């Protein structure tokens, strides 16, 4: 069974990675869709965010992973690729309320079921906004604790113009 996990991943965090790892216990193949939300002011470009996702996926999962940058409505990706499930990460009640609203839209536009997964306990409070704040304030080393090492190193290269 195939599932999609979509997000802006600006940048991808250990919280995202833990949801992905948990999802691999349930699904044969996961499409990680790196979405370009025009309403957001992204710290990293779509191509950079896609590469950070690539650097965050453990080798043991790479053969079962499809990573795609995407500039459209995720429901269109789901329908075009015959995806059977949509994975959504939920950390708290606020996340769940938003995700339940989003699920109503998906129910009207796809046949995929939504599956909610929480990150591992140690990553429950991790979010991309916090990591971006560290990068924007020049406190790069503080961001290291919230990202995979290879992705963190690549993010620093991007921030330094590489």
SS3 of residue 66 by DSSP: strand
Q: Is 123 assigned to a binding site? A: yes
Q: Is 154 assigned to a binding site? A: no
Q: Is 125 assigned to a binding site? A: yes
Q: Is 17 assigned to a binding site? A: no
Structure tokens at 44: 């990293």
Q: Is 91 assigned to a binding site? A: yes
Distance of CA 128 to the CA centre of its chain: 10
Structure tokens at 143: 């961001």
Q: What is the C-alpha to C-alpha distance for residues 31 and 125, in angstroms, rounded to an integer?
A: 24
Q: Is 104 assigned to a binding site? A: no
Q: Is 127 assigned to a binding site? A: yes
Q: Is 22 assigned to a binding site? A: no
Q: Is 78 assigned to a binding site? A: no
Q: Is 132 assigned to a binding site? A: no
Q: Is 16 assigned to a binding site? A: yes
Q: What is the C-alpha to C-alpha distance for residues 28 and 128, in angstroms, rounded to an integer?
A: 27
Sequence-ordered list of residues with C-beta below 8 angstroms from that of 152, at least 6 positions apart, any chain: 143, 144
Q: Is 124 assigned to a binding site? A: yes
Q: Is 118 assigned to a binding site? A: no
First to last CA, the chain: 38
Which residues sit in the known binding site for substrate?
A: 8, 40, 74, 88
Which residues sit in the known binding site for ATP?
A: 8-9, 16, 89-91, 99, 123-129
Which residues sit in the known binding site?
A: 8-9, 16, 40, 74, 88-91, 99, 123-129
């Amino acid at each position: 069974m195939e599932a999609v996990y979509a997000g802006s991943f600006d940048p991808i965090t250990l919280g995202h990675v833990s949801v992905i790892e948990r999802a691999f216990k349930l699904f044969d193949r996961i499409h990680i869709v790196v979405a370009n939300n025009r309403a957001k002011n992204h710290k990293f470009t779509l191509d950079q965010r896609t590469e950070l996702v690539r650097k965050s996926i453990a080798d043991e999962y790479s053969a079962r992973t499809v990573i795609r940058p995407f500039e459209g409505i995720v429901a269109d990706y789901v329908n075009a690729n015959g995806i059977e499930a949509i994975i959504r990460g939920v950390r708290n009640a606020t996340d769940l309320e938003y995700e339940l609203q989003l699920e109503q839209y998906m129910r009207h536009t796809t046949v995929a079921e939504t599956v909610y997964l929480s990150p591992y306990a140690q990553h429950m409070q991790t979010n991309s906004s916090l990591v971006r704040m560290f990068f924007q304030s020049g406190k790069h080393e503080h961001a290291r604790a919230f990202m995979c090492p290879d992705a963190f190193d690549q993010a620093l290269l991007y921030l330094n113009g590489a």
